[in-house]
Amino acid sequence: MSSALNDLFPHPIVQAPMAGGASCPELAAAVSEAGGLGFLAAGYKTADGMYQEIKQVRGLTGRPFGVNLFMPQPEVADPAAVDVYRHQLAGEATWYRTPLGDPDGGRDDGYDAKLAILRDDPVPVVSFTFGCPTREVVHALQRVGTRTVVTVTTVEEAQAAQEAAADAVCVQGVEAGGHQGTHRDNPETDGAGIGLLALVTQVREAVRLPIVATGGIMRGAQIAAVLTAGADLAQLGTAFLVAPESGAPTVHKEAMTDPLFTRTELTRAFSGRPARGLVNRFLREHGPYAPAAYPQVHHMTAPLRKAAARAGDTQGMALWAGQGHRLARALPAGQLVEVLAAELDAARAAAGQRGAA
Ligand SMILES: Cc1cc2nc3c(=O)[nH]c(=O)nc-3n(C[C@H](O)[C@H](O)[C@H](O)COP(=O)(O)O)c2cc1C
């Protein structure tokens, strides 16, 4: 039952799931109401927390929306490396006056319990990141009418998603804000991330599945570009993070266009897995030696990040941001969907005119 997602909503615009609070029910509902696809992020939430948010979205809109799940992680972390990092973070714990979190705070993110809810009370779309679900899981969701999407960062991962019978792939370029959805974190491939246009083009030629393109997209003309390259939809995170409906902390939203922050980098400093954020003090100091240990490092730094956010200290927070962050526009989410759709139309018309000239 492989089918595109385009028939579910009018605009080829998806609001990226953003764990940590940004993609709250109000944001997802506003995007879906405007004719895009809003997404909830189940990551870091309990199964019940996820379900409450699903019910909230249903109370706000009757339109389709999606729920994003983190795949359970294999045990790859070296406990000795995690311990060394714990010592390296001791000064942060003193500075923010909080003990570090327990690195063994759980690796499966409540995956089975969340799936059970999504099978019992289906939602229109479920997407997965950090790995590829089994065929059984994909089929079980498809049987209850749910479309499935798997995030991929290479052609091989896209082929694995096709093997698993997913309905679509979310092709994530290295420009993307937040975590790379790589199926298996491997430090040997650090620096080998592929830019979105190159990746979409390769995946288009390698698999039959519909493509959702994501990473660094902030304007309608970029949506036109990825659709021309073979994508069916564009997914935007950073662009929606700054919307008034987004649950991201105000200081995170403001940092996106603050001239103080000029660069983004992929770092393991906050979570142990490569994620793109604005370069701040914490990232600069700890990025160079942070181990490949997700989610152990995520659990360990959680109290530090919370304390920094409480203090409004952007130098200690994980300021996830895509490479296009300076182009962020703090418009209400529904209005942003409309502006993006109008820009897309204008870009297509301009390209048509150039083609005809
Ligand atoms: C704050 C933040 C949190 C994110 N959390 C998730 C998540 O929970 N699940 C997921 O699949 N992707 C997550 N992402 C990645 C997005 O799905 C998407 O790939 C990315 O935002 C695209 O790049 P852009 O931010 O430049 O638009 C997150 C991104 C950001 C900025």
> Is 21 contained in some domain?
yes
Same domain, 11 and 27: yes
Q: Which atom of ligand 1 is nearest to the CA of 176?
A: 23
Q: Where are the alpha helices (DSSP H) in 144-256?
A: 155-163, 196-206, 220-228, 238-241, 250-255
Task: Tell me, yes or no, whether 20 lies in a domain.
Answer: yes
286 with 271, same domain? Answer: yes
Whether residue 160 is found in the same domain as residue 32: yes
Expressed in angstroms and rounded, the spacing between residue 352 Cα and the centre of ligand 1 is: 32
Domain-embedded: residue 257:
no
Report pLDDT for 2.
Answer: 41
Residue 253 within a domain: no
Confirm whether 357 is domain-assigned: no
Considering its fold, how many domains does the chain have in total?
2
Atom of ligand 1 at shortest distance to CA of 238?
25
53 with 158, same domain?
yes
Please give the Cα distance from 265 to 281 (Å, whole number). 12
356 in any annotated domain: no
**What are 56-62's contacts with CB under 8 Å, separation 24+?**
56/25, 56/29, 57/25, 57/28, 57/29, 57/32, 60/25, 60/26, 60/29, 60/33, 61/29, 61/32, 61/33
For residues 90 and 204, membership in a common domain is answered with no
Decide: helix, strand or coil at residue 160: helix
Q: For residue 292, give both structure tokens.
A: 């490949």
Cα 8 to the center of its chain, rounded Å: 21
Domain check: are 190 and 230 in the same one? Answer: yes
Q: How far apart are CA 47 and CA 51, in angstroms?
A: 6
The answer to whether residues 42 and 157 belong to one domain is: yes
Our answer on whether the CB atom of 271 is closer than 6 Å to any ligand 1 atom is: no
Residue 255 domain-assigned?
A: no
Contact 149, 169 (CB under 8 A): yes
| Predicted confidence (pLDDT) per residue in 101-141, tens digit | 999 988 889 999 999 999 999 999 999 999 999 999 999 99
Q: Is the domain of 142 the same as that of 224?
A: yes
Looking at the fold, whether 140 and 175 belong to one and the same domain comes out as yes
User: Residue 215: which domain range?
Assistant: 6-73+108-247+327-350
Do residue 202 and residue 163 come from a single domain?
yes
Same domain? For 276 and 341 the reply is no
Regarding the beta carbon of 275 and ligand 1, being less than 6 Å apart is answered no
Q: How far is the CA of 179 from the centre of ligand 1 (A)?
A: 6
Is 185 part of any domain?
yes
Q: Could you tell me the pLDDT band of residue 308, with boundaries at 50, 70 and 90?
A: very high
- Mean pLDDT in residue range 129-154: 98
Q: How far is the CA of 8 from the centre of ligand 1 (A)?
A: 21
Residue 214 in contact with ligand 1 by CB distance below 6 A: yes
pLDDT tens digits along 68-94:
999 998 877 899 999 999 999 999 999
Instruction: State the distance from the centre of ligand 1 to the C-alpha of 238, rounded, in angstroms.
Output: 7
The pLDDT tens digits for 236-294 are 999 999 999 999 999 999 999 999 999 999 999 999 999 999 999 999 999 999 999 99
Residues 134 and 267 in one domain: no
Reference 213, options 198, 234, 237, 239; nearest CA is 234
Q: What is the CATH number of the domain that holds 189?
A: 3.20.20.70
Percent of the chain with pLDDT over 90: 94
